[in-house]
Structure formats: C-alpha cells, structure tokens
Amino acid sequence: MSISTVSSPTIAAPARARPRRAGWRRHGGAYALLVPSLVFLIAFTYWPILEVLGRSFLVARFGAGASWGFGNYARLFADPRFSTAIVNNLIYAAGTMIPSLALALGCALALAETTKLTSLLRTLLVMPMMIPLVAAAALFTFLMLPGAGLLDYYLAPFGLGQANWLGDPSLALGSIIAITIWKNTGYYMLFFIAGLAGVPRDLLDAAKIDGAGALARFRHVTLPMLGPTLMFVGVIAFLNALTQVDHVVVTTQGGPTDATLLLLYYIYQQAHQNYDTGLASAATVISVAVLFALAVVSLRRMEQGIHHEV
C-alpha cells in the first residue's frame, strides 16, 4: 500500500514595492514637457493674481509708510465714480445681452437649415466677430460723426439727423451698446446653431403630428432643449460685458460726464492715469470675485439643471 505524499503549496514571497524612482523614470519626459507651461502659468497667471490681491490691502499714505488694511476698499466704496461705473456696467450688460441673445437665437432658427443662401447669410453675420473691437469702434466713430457721418446722412430724411451719438450723455451709452450688439450677435449665433443641431428631430416631428404649431414647438421642445446652450452663451455674454472695454477707449474714454464709464475702464484710469494702484487693485479683486461667483453658480446650475436626456 503506497502512501502518496501531497506537496504543500508554496507561498509566493511578497513582491517588493516598486520604487518611486521607476515612476519618475517612466513619466519624467511628461513632467519635463509640463514644466515650461507650469512656469509660465505661475509667472503670468497666479503670481499677478496674488500681487493684485496683496496690493489691494496695501494702503499707501503720502509722506508716510504703507500699512496693511481695508483702507483701499473703504475709499473704493466711498468713490461716487465707482458707483457710476457699476450702474453703467449693469445697464450696458442688460442692453447688450438681451438684444444680442434674442437676435442670435432668431438668426440661428432662421438659418438652421444649410443651403447656399443660409451659408452666405451666416458668413455675413459672422464677419463682424472677425473684426477687432478697436477697428470696429474706429469704424463706428466715423459712421456716427455728427452731421457728417453716414448714420446722420441716412436718418436726415426722417428728421433724426444731426445727433451727437458719442458726445451726448443721453445717447453715448446706447451707441456703445449698439456697437457691441453688432459685434457679438454673429458670435453667439454660432453656439445656438450648434445647439439646434442637437435637438432630436423625432421630438419635433412628434409635436408636429400632435398638432403643435411652430411657436408651440419652439416653446415646449426647442427652447427647453437649448437650456444648457442658452446658459453657456449667457455667461459668455455677461463676461464680455464686464471685460470688453476697447471700444470705450477708442470712442468716448468714459465720457461725456462719465456716461460711458464702465468698471474695467475705471480700473484702467485709476491704475494708469491716477497711478492709484491700491484703488485699482481693490476694484479688480471685486470684479474677479463677481466673475468667479458667476462661473461657480452657472456650472452648478448646468450640472443640476438643464441636461435633458432623450
């Protein structure tokens, strides 16, 4: 009778932990390629932000040393021109966003189908976005010359000529708004055309079969499906309203009587004309905080809200 022996299984020795040097050797080339971008990002993005934040709390006094505190913010909120800039910027934002988005959406709906005619019209509407804002402002300066510009020439038969579009405090901000609408409508239209391409055709056909008219289909099908696009374009339009100032520099320089004084131009004046870097830094910090809060709120709403699954 033979007794078979059963060999006990061998227990493998635990593998040695891979040294960290192997990871550095494997990814060292990628890290080396990222280092220049990181250096430029720190030097031209994060360091200026920290420097502006520090200067906003550095209160300089004439004939005395500088001190730390909230003095720049106190002076900023006590400055009536800062309040004027905020009010003007809010009016400018509302006056540019609502007409621009409405016109862009209407043009996108009208030119959604791709034909030779719609392709030509799309190109004509998109052309203004290719023109730099400085050049567009210089062009409109000549168009709006009182008594000699093309705008007065064509409005004269209707009794509306001889208006000082950029020199009258009651018309200057509206003229700046008109330039911005002309410049940005075609740009926003591109986003809406892309959003319309994502609207399922089956839903529109089903609504049409149920007897829904064109307005009902737009209200109950197209517009809800365009919710994320509309919010995204709205955020871009608001950011443009706070950051675009080239046309103000070229046309009115914030005048007449601060009628076109926008927040960014106010910061420019304090920093480069009045050499008050503390006040300019405080205004910049507040502007960036508003933009950051707007971005956070919009992203959260887009994540929570308005994604439609078909």
Q: Please answer whether residues 243 and 264 qualify as being in contact, where contact means their C-beta atoms are separated by less than 8 angstroms.
A: yes
pLDDT digits (tens, 9 = 90+) for 278-301: 999 999 999 989 888 887 887 777
pLDDT of residue 151: 86
pLDDT digits (tens, 9 = 90+) for 22-34: 666 677 778 888 8
How far is Cα 261 from Cα 240, in angstroms, rounded to an integer? 15
pLDDT digits (tens, 9 = 90+) for 1-25: 444 444 445 555 455 555 556 666 6
Helix (H) / strand (E) containing 275: none
pLDDT digits (tens, 9 = 90+) for 202-253: 888 888 888 888 888 888 888 888 888 888 898 899 889 988 899 999 999 9
How far is Cα 297 from Cα 299, in angstroms, rounded to an integer? 6
How far is Cα 246 from Cα 237, in angstroms, rounded to an integer? 16
State the amino acid at position 113 in one-letter form.
E
**Beta strands at 58-59 and 67-68: parallel, antiparallel or unpaired:** antiparallel
pLDDT of residue 310: 44
How far is Cα 101 from Cα 159, in angstroms, rounded to an integer? 31
Global confidence as pTM: 0.82
Higher pLDDT, 65 or 123: 123
Q: CA distances (Å), 190 to each of 109, 116, 223, in order?
A: 11, 17, 16
Higher pLDDT, 126 or 303: 126
Q: CA distances (Å), 115 to each of 111, 203, 204, 220, 267, in order?
A: 9, 23, 20, 27, 46
